[in-house]
């Protein structure tokens, strides 16, 4: 089976300081991807840049749109056309065809939408067509927006079971301290037992994107846990794509044991839970015990909140309210309340449809 690689190109990589697209950088990266395609890799590209590409719209036209939200939507709508035209021309030089895939967070919300999008992307990859995926900024609303395209790329990696996810940034990788300190070094291989997220990275956002290194690190750790190897690297470094494959650049997050397709979906749907259940300390210990495969049984449930039906995603909380994970409910909230606290009953969430955060 062909190996699959997802490359995410962020705004700071593909845009000039003024905001316009940097064609030289794009051309170079597409050329590197073309080489991978010739070597048999299946390629999926997650690209920002629609709003930046739309910044070239005539100022007189933009001045007719006083509302800043509507102005950004117009720039995204017109820019997406320019961005895709640019990619089409660049990939054609490599003998590759592309397809545009615009998505929103709601497409990951239900199992039906999720499988429908996965089927489309799988068909494109099987045909040798490169899906170019971006958030649909034209219609996106705040509560249903991805944190950034790093999050989108991580969700797609789980969806198509990618072998490698490359998050291209403007830095060589994740540093083990203050980047301005001459003693600071780039971490070559991430190890959760050695490094702590909050100790390594300070929160912040770039001028051209919603995310930052904190977001990249969180997404990288989560995606690796779901079975896809991740690399954070500098998109402007010469030959960076091949270097990432050869493990000679960036910060690498080794993939953990493979996760089932159902759990990869749950990892993307956790923020769309229809309800929640609070478990006691005994159930919490059983669920978090790495030496056993535990389902969520009614005997360990202390409270049920929200309105959910069979098949809906629900959150699982510990007694203090911390989110332990989420799962697919095997029955609705009314039956769950009736069975709550009882022994010998069928699980509310079976282990096969249970996703734990850590």
CATH of the domain at 344: 2.30.130.10
The reply to whether 134 and 235 lie within a common domain is yes
Statement to judge: residues 152 and 289 lie in one domain: no
- Is it the case that residue 206 has pLDDT exceeding 50? no
Question: Where is the domain boundary, 259, 285, 309?
Answer: 259
Phi and psi angles of residue 198, each rounded to the nearest 5 degrees, phi first: -70, -25
Name the token pair of 249. 């650049």
Domain with 308 in it: 273-356
Decide which of 231, 259, 287 is a domain's last residue.
259
> Within a domain: residue 179?
yes
Q: Strands 4-9 and 42-47: what pairing?
A: parallel
Buried b (16+ CB within 10 A) or exposed e, 241-263: bebbbeeebbbbbebeeebeebb
pLDDT at 188 over 50: yes
pLDDT score of 19: 67
For 109-128, write each residue's pLDDT tens digit: 777 888 899 999 999 999 99
Q: What number of residues does the chain have?
A: 358
| pLDDT for position 207 | 37
The structural domain count of the chain equals 2
267 in a structural domain: no
Residue 267 has pLDDT above 80, yes or no: yes
- Cβ-proximal residues to 110 (8 Å cutoff; 6+ apart), any chain: 269, 272
154-186 pLDDT tens trace: 999 999 999 999 999 888 888 877 777 777 888
- Reply yes or no on whether the pLDDT at 210 is more than 50: no
Residues 105 and 57 in one domain: yes
Asked whether residue 265 is domain-assigned, the answer is: no
What is the rounded CA–CA span in Å between residue 135 and residue 83? 13
Residues 6+ apart with CB under 8 A from 33: 7, 43, 45, 91, 94, 96, 130, 241
pLDDT for 205 equals 38
Mean pLDDT value across residues 248-258:
87
Asked if the structure places residue 264 within a domain, the reply is no
Rg of the chain in Å (alpha carbons):
22
In a domain, 308, yes or no: yes
Is 268 inside any structural domain? no
Cβ(280)–Cβ(302) below 8 Å: yes
Helix (H) or strand (E) holding 290: none
The answer to whether residues 116 and 151 belong to one domain is yes
Same domain, yes or no, for 346 and 216? no
User: What is the domain-level CATH number for residue 222?
Assistant: 3.40.1160.10
Residues 220, 327 within the same domain: no
Q: Are residues 88 and 185 in the same domain?
A: yes
CB contact burial 120-131 (16+ within 10 A = b; e otherwise): ebeebbeeebbb
116 shares a domain with 218: yes
What pLDDT is attached to residue 204? 36
Are residues 337 and 212 part of one domain?
A: no
> Do 217 and 278 lie in a common domain?
no
Average pLDDT (215-220) is 86
């Amino acid at each position: 089976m062909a190996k699959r690689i997802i490359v995410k190109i962020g705004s700071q990589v593909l845009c000039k300081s003024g905001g316009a697209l940097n064609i030289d950088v794009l051309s170079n990266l597409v050329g590197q991807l073309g080489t991978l395609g010739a070597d048999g890799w299946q390629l999926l590209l997650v690209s920002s840049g629609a709003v930046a590409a739309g910044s070239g719209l005539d100022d007189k036209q933009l001045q007719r749109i006083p509302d800043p939200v509507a102005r950004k939507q117009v720039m995204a709508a017109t820019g997406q056309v320019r961005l895709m035209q640019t990619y089409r021309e660049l990939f054609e030089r490599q003998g590759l065809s592309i397809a545009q895939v615009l998505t929103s967070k709601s497409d990951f919300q239900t199992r039906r939408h999720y499988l429908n999008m996965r089927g489309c992307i799988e068909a494109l990859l099987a045909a040798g067509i490169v899906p170019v995926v971006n958030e649909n900024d034209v219609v996106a609303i705040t509560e249903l927006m991805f944190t950034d395209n790093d999050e989108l790329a991580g969700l797609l990696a789980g969806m198509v079971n990618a072998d490698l996810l490359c998050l291209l940034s403007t830095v060589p990788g994740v540093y083990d301290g203050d980047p301005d300190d001459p003693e600071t070094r780039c971490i070559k291989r991430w190890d959760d037992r050695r490094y702590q997220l909050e100790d390594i990275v300070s929160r912040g956002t770039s001028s051209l994107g919603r995310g930052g290194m904190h977001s990249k690190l969180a997404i990288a750790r989560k995606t690796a846990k779901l079975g896809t190897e991740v690399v954070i690297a500098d998109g402007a470094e010469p030959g960076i794509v091949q270097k990432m494959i050869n493990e000679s650049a960036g910060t690498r997050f080794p993939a953990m044991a493979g996760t089932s397709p159902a759990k990869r979906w749950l990892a993307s749907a956790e923020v769309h839970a229809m309800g929640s259940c609070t478990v006691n300390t005994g159930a919490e210990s059983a669920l978090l015990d790495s030496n056993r495969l535990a389902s969520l049984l009614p005997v360990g449930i202390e409270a049920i909140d929200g309105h959910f039906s069979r098949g809906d995603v629900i959150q699982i909380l510990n007694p203090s309210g911390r989110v332990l994970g989420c799962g697919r409910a095997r029955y609705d909230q009314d039956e769950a309340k009736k069975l709550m606290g009882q022994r010998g009953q069928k699980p509310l969430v079976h282990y096969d449809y249970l996703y734990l955060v850590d």
